[in-house]
Structure 1
Amino acid sequence: MAARRALFRLPLRASSSAALRNGAAASRYASSLASAGAQPKWAATAVLPAQWRLLGKRAGGQTRWYSSELGVAKEYKFDDVKQLSEKPDENVQLIDVREPQEYANGHIPTALNIPVTTQPDALFLSPEEFEDRFGFAKPATDKGVIFYCKAGVRSATMAQLAINAGYKDVGEYKGSYMDWEKNGGKAEKP
């Protein structure tokens, strides 16, 4: 156990040869476990999402991971969202990803509330589980969804989650609720 822990306590600025030696040791350890019929969680590649790619080793033995883009959310402006709130489209759903208390203090008319901070798995739930949890039907993956929050950070997160969950038409109101208020959009309260 101590040897396994030591593999992960490398100094951040170790020489690249030391990183390669320790990387080789980790590989040998994982191989020995695999030949014995076991595989540690940290060595299993299935733990990582399929869209992740490994960048090459960097000096100091640091490994960099990044998520490749499966898709990019369309950007919506104030006028687009205002039109949608005044004339709802059955093929597009506006979704507020702020917390319920923020939503209760005012939201864009016609928007549903799916809080990303406390419910990040929401779009990955089955339709039955989703309806039990939120009290309304889960947006269909073949319909458009437009996300907004307070300033655009949480909506970007939810847009990427939606893309990963299989939604085809994903949009993001980057100005979000702050832009809505600034431009004189009317707020609705439940």
Structure 2
Amino acid sequence: MASSVTKDISYKDLKALLGQNQNLLLVDVRTKEEVDKGHIPGSVHIPVDTVEAAFAMAPEDFKCKYGVTKPPQDAPELVFHCQLGRRGLNATNKAHQLGYVNARNYAGGYKEWSEKEGK
């Protein structure tokens, strides 16, 4: 089934996941300055340059640092995003290299989200 998962997720699909899935981990890989200007509700801030180290952490260290449970490698709902899509894709690729087979990138990024949400 993992082969049917695409690496990108659309605004519509992400919006649906946010509304229904308690297990979704949405990771914002932008800088702190960008996040301070606005973020997708429920997202966790893990800057792109720390994604690899973060997802290599022991689960208890991850929970302590980020305040959320580290997802298992086969987690069905792990989504990364940035402002426009490039850093989110880099983070998604790093997660795949670490064995997170279902990790996806919200290619529209915060820019599309904020436009569609009217923020």
Task: Indicate whether the TM-score tops 0.5.
Answer: yes
Q: CA separation in 2, counterparts of 1:88 and 1:104? A: 26
Helix, strand or coil at the partner of 1:95: strand
| 1:75 aligned residue | 8
Report which structure shows greater RCO (CA 8 Å, sep ≥6): 2
**Residue identity matched to 1:74:** K
Is 1:100 aligned to 2:32, yes or no? yes
Counterpart selection for 1:166 from 99, 105, 108: 99
Superposed structure 1 runs of 4+ greater than 6 Å apart = none
Consecutive unaligned residues of structure 2, counting only runs of 5 or more, are none
| 1:155 aligned residue | 88
Q: TM-score, normalised by structure 1?
A: 0.53
**Residue identity matched to 1:81:** L
Cα distance per residue 1:102-158 (max 9 Å; x no partner): 223211112111111245411111112222322332122221201110111110111
Q: Percent identity?
A: 33
Counterpart selection for 1:133 from 50, 65, 71: 65
Is 1:178 aligned to 2:111, yes or no? yes
Q: CA separation in 2, counterparts of 1:127 and 1:177? A: 27
8 Å contact kept, 2:44–2:66: no
118-127 or 154-163, which deviates more = 118-127
Name the count of aligned residue pairs: 114
Q: CA separation in 1, counterparts of 2:118 and 2:70? A: 26
8 Å contact kept, 1:96–1:113: yes
Helix, strand or coil at the partner of 1:81: helix
Specify the structure having the higher radius of gyration (Cα): 1
Deviation, structure 1 residue 82:
1.9
| 2:54 aligned residue | 122
8 Å contact kept, 1:123–1:161: no
Deviation, structure 1 residue 73:
5.0
Helix, strand or coil at the partner of 1:156: helix
Please tell me the root mean square deviation across aligned C-alpha atoms, in Å. 2.1
Q: TM-score, normalised by structure 2?
A: 0.81
Helix, strand or coil at the partner of 1:146: strand
- Summarize the Cα distance change of 1:135–1:186 in structure 2 as closer, same or farther, 3 Å threshold: farther
Give 1 or 2: higher helix fraction. 2
